[in-house]
Amino acid sequence: MAEMGLAQRFAQTVERYVPDAITSAVFMVIILFIFTALIGVPASQTIDAYYKGLWMLLAFTMQMTLIITLSAVFGSSPIFRRCIKALAVIPKTQFQVIALAALVTAVLAYIYWGLAVTLGPVITIYFCGEAERKGIKVDFMLCLAAVFAAHSVWQYGLSSSGPLLVATPGHFLEKTTGVMPLRRYGAPLP
């Protein structure tokens, strides 16, 4: 048996001592209750706030679920897969594979952030798979990191949170900035 590398030993140590997500969530809720009790908040008030907050987040949770699910459905469609396969054959070098994968993801992020988050890894798999088939050595993790970095384009895109927020009546800065319609972005101020 080959000797275990430093990265593998580190991964095993982390797996052994770092709790999973649900255990971490339970510990954080317990810590929250302890801290609220220490500052004098009654347990009934903390439970009530937790309950109200949970249900207030339900609409947001459903929106995020739909964004990810529908983007994944789009990524599974034959037309998307054909387009990605057609683009994946274009690059001839390692740099071109990574750059084009990141560019395609950036375009998707500009259109809608959910597409980039969901489809970026799929794009990486297709591009790196085609590169491997051609004999181009590409570090999959580097390509994946470049694709995830390309997600940041969404902030300037059609689903950008800032412009959408200030275009919504009743937003928290409305008294200061007013409601700014989306057509104003990029136009000089009067």
The rounded mean pLDDT for the chain is: 88
Q: What is the pLDDT of residues 95-134, one digit of tens each?
A: 999 999 999 999 999 998 889 999 999 999 999 999 999 9
Task: For the chain, give the longest Cα–Cα distance.
Answer: 72
pLDDT value at residue 1: 43
Residue at token pair 């949170």: 161
25 Cβ neighbours under 8 A, 6+ residues apart: none
Q: What is the pLDDT of residues 4-33, one digit of tens each?
A: 788 888 888 888 888 888 999 899 999 999
What is 30-72 written as a DSSP string? HHHHHHHHHTT--HHHHHHHHHHHHHHTHHHHHHHHHHHHHHH
Which tokens hold the place of 98? 């990574």
User: How far is it, in rounded angstroms, from Cα 82 to Cα 89?
Assistant: 11
User: How far is it, in rounded angstroms, from Cα 130 to Cα 145?
Assistant: 18
User: How far is it, in rounded angstroms, from Cα 49 to Cα 55?
Assistant: 10
Distance, C-alpha 113 to centroid of its chain = 8
